[in-house]
């Protein structure tokens, strides 16, 4: 009986030695140890042999199984090592990795960050306000009468609740002055919404950057100096900046700011980039009424405000002819700005 086991074991070891890949090794395992494997079938004979031989038979069976399992394991390790070496052959692990394509910042993000950097250097802090506004903060507190065209349903997105999508970031001026006392020096970049026809220079969602400086002796020259400096930082010191008298309900006097665009091969032209002015005392008064104090006493306090179009700045900076490119997410356009 024991010879039979010895011969099963030696042919099993031969099979294992001859197996050249994982599949052949598996076949060998099944042929010997599987349900109908040679060793399994031999083991089943234990019930037929005389009792006094059962112990020795069992021992040699177990010894054979241990031996065969060890050989299987050893062969498996060898085959795995060969497979690993093959997988890596021809690959030079010392080469530097190929770089992965990375995204870049959107031109609007780039221009906004740059604008913020310039203004923060001048001491302006970031402020924020909701894009879903009420009429009070968007219009009334900004001295804009109920019959002003901007409040028209044709121009503004209204919700049934009476709230609206802010038509400008100037509402952040009001929210800031309601909760802080002078000196106030803030900027508020953010989206604004208008029911404009969409074309090469208009979107119904666009981006503004609002600014407000309120203190005891803020003057018109401060406004001009600040904004001239800003546009020189933005577009270069030789850029001409012009303040054109205009009307806004919440500033007096008010101006629109144009910068002179000089593109090679084209006649220079003025491009409107911002509105600005000295805060109208009526604005301070309505905020004092809400605050129920006189923290913004128009007799002692003055201020300037401005609101610029960030999309415009991006268009000027990079000569972008159609504003829609800024929202279409065409990678052929956007990848030009990746840094």
Token pair for 322: 């159609």
Among 276, 313, 315, 323, binds ligand DAH (CB under 6 A): 276
List the interface residues with ligand DAH, window 191-210 (CB under 6 A): 210
Q: Does the protein bind ligand DAH through residue 305 (CB under 6 A)?
A: yes
> What track of x and - describes contact with ligand DAH for positions 234 through 253 (by CB under 6 A)?
--------------x--x--
CB of 194 to ligand DAH, least distance (A): 9
List the interface residues with ligand DAH, window 253-272 (CB under 6 A): 254
- By beta-carbon proximity to ligand DAH, the closer residue of 57 and 213 is 213
Pick the stretch among 116-124, 261-269, 303-311, 322-330 that binds ligand DAH (CB under 6 A): 303-311
Question: How many C-beta neighbours within 10 Å does residue 56 have?
Answer: 12
Dump the DSSP string for 262-281: --TTS--EEEEEEEEEEEPH
Pairing of strands 184-193, 125-126: parallel
CB of 306 to ligand DAH, least distance (A): 5
Pick the stretch among 19-27, 235-243, 302-310, 316-324 that binds ligand DAH (CB under 6 A): 302-310
CB of 156 to ligand DAH, least distance (A): 12
Token pair for 210: 């609002």
Q: Does the protein bind ligand DAH through residue 230 (CB under 6 A)?
A: no
- By beta-carbon proximity to ligand DAH, the closer residue of 194 and 260 is 194
3-state secondary structure of 215: strand
List the interface residues with ligand DAH, window 170-189 (CB under 6 A): 170
Q: Does the protein bind ligand DAH through residue 306 (CB under 6 A)?
A: yes
HSE-CB at 29 with a 13 A cutoff on CA atoms is: 15
Pairing of strands 241-248, 132-133: unpaired
Instruction: List, in order, residues 6 or more apart from 36 with CB less than 8 Å away.
Output: none
CB of 201 to ligand DAH, least distance (A): 14
Sheet with 205-215, edge to edge strand ranges:
125-126, 184-193, 205-215, 302-309, 269-279, 251-261, 241-248
CB of 210 to ligand DAH, least distance (A): 6
| Residue of 194, 195, 178, 177 lying closest to 186 (CA atoms) | 177
- By beta-carbon proximity to ligand DAH, the closer residue of 9 and 226 is 226
> No. of H helices and E strands in the chain?
11, 9
Q: Does the protein bind ligand DAH through residue 275 (CB under 6 A)?
A: yes
CA distances for 262 relative to 236, 265, 325, angstroms = 12, 9, 21
- By beta-carbon proximity to ligand DAH, the closer residue of 37 and 307 is 307
Q: Does the protein bind ligand DAH through residue 168 (CB under 6 A)?
A: yes
3-state secondary structure of 53: helix
Query: Rounded CA gap, 242 and 258, in Å?
Result: 5
Query: Rounded CA gap, 304 and 232, in Å?
Result: 19
Q: Does the protein bind ligand DAH through residue 277 (CB under 6 A)?
A: yes
> What track of x and - describes contact with ligand DAH for positions 80 through 119 (by CB under 6 A)?
----------------------------------------
| Residues at the site binding ligand DAH, with contacts judged by CB under 6 A | 168, 170, 210, 248, 251, 254, 275-277, 305-307
């Amino acid at each position: 009986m024991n010879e039979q086991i010895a011969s099963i074991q030696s042919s099993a070891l031969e099979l294992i030695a001859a197996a050249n890949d994982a599949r052949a090794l598996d076949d060998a395992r099944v042929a010997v140890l599987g349900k109908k494997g040679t060793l399994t079938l031999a083991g089943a004979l234990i019930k037929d042999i005389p009792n006094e031989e059962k112990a020795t038979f069992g021992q040699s069976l177990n010894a054979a199984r241990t031996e065969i399992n060890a050989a299987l394991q050893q062969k498996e390790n060898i085959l795995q090592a060969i497979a690993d070496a093959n997988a890596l052959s021809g690959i030079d692990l010392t080469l530097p990795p190929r770089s992965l394509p990375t995204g870049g910042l959107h031109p609007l993000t780039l221009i906004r960050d740059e604008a913020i950097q310039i203004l923060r250097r001048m001491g302006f802090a970031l402020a924020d306000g909701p894009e879903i506004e009420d009429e009070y903060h968007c219009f009334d507190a900004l001295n804009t009468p109920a019959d002003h065209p901007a409040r028209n349903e044709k121009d503004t997105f209204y919700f049934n609740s009476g709230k609206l999508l802010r038509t400008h970031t100037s509402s952040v001026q009001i929210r800031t002055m309601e909760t802080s006392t002078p000196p106030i020096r803030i900027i508020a970049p953010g989206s604004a919404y208008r029911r404009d026809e969409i074309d090469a220079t208009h979107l119904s969602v666009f981006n503004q950057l609002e600014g407000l400086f309120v203190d005891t002796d803020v003057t018109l020259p401060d406004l001009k100096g600040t904004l001239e400096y800003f546009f020189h930082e933005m577009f270069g010191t030789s850029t001409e900046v012009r303040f054109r008298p205009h009307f806004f309900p919440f500033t007096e006097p008010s101006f629109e700011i144009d910068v002179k665009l000089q593109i090679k091969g084209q006649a220079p032209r003025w491009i409107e980039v911002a509105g600005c002015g000295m805060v109208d005392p009526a604005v301070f008064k309505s905020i004092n009424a809400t605050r129920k104090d006189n923290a913004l006493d128009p007799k002692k306090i003055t201020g300037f405000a401005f609101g610029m179009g960030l999309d415009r700045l991006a268009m000027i900076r990079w000569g972008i002819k159609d504003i829609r490119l800024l929202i279409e997410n065409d990678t052929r356009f956007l990848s030009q700005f990746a840094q």
